[in-house]
Structure 1
Amino acid sequence: MRHLHALSLTPALPIADPNIDFDPPADGRYLRATFVPNTTDRLFIQSTGLHRYTGLFMVDVFDKPGTGETRARDVAGQVAEHFPCDDRITEEGVTLRIITRPNVGPAIIEDQAIHVPVTVEFWAFA
């Protein structure tokens, strides 16, 4: 999460972190972070050996409906660039490695918001 919070955007956008109270701003522009753990692979026969953890880090870029997709897509592109392939990020003593270029998905348009999802795939060995 700290790596996402280090992202410099102009204008700066608030970030909704998982399981933390958050009130979306009146202008409807913000980011939402979601951590999605996936599989755990046992790499060695030893039960105390390293395991590989894979997962997804999702960042949804929200904007006001009726404003088009360009502004949200531009921010999504900046988020994706902030997590380059092969980057290593250490959080709470665990190093994550970004394994592919982040994917910027299609815009999802709803009554209250438009959002563009950014998916970051990672590995961690622990």
Structure 2
Amino acid sequence: MIESAPVARYRAALAELDPRISIAAQLRALFPLIEAELASGVPHAAVLDDLAAAGLSVQHSTYTITLYRWRKAQRSAEAKSAAPPLPHAAPTTATKAPPTTAPTLNAIEGRPRNIQTPGDLRKIRDMRIDLEALRREGK
């Protein structure tokens, strides 16, 4: 029986890893290869079959959770690399912009950063919105 190309790549990558590491760590090492397969249209079930043929038996739940966490880590790493660099101290010869006379206004008080608990929803319900300040911020 001839071994498929993905199975051969998975075997080669697994051979380079320490066999004592966890299944999740082995999956993380294989995810760049797996992502290429998924991008070409291979279903997740076929990837799991190929992994099993390569010698890495993985439960579907382990595969799904590890893939989710790996993709989340990749997104946060991309976001950090795409973030603009922090401005350095301005040279002393540069002219400084005149200070603004209007203080920074916050038209919405009590807004949570993200919604994770029922308490965050209550904060949204109890937010105070100063429409006049919101109008001034928009100018």
TM-score (norm 2): 0.23
Q: Which has the higher strand share?
A: 1
Structure 1 or 2: more helix by fraction: 2
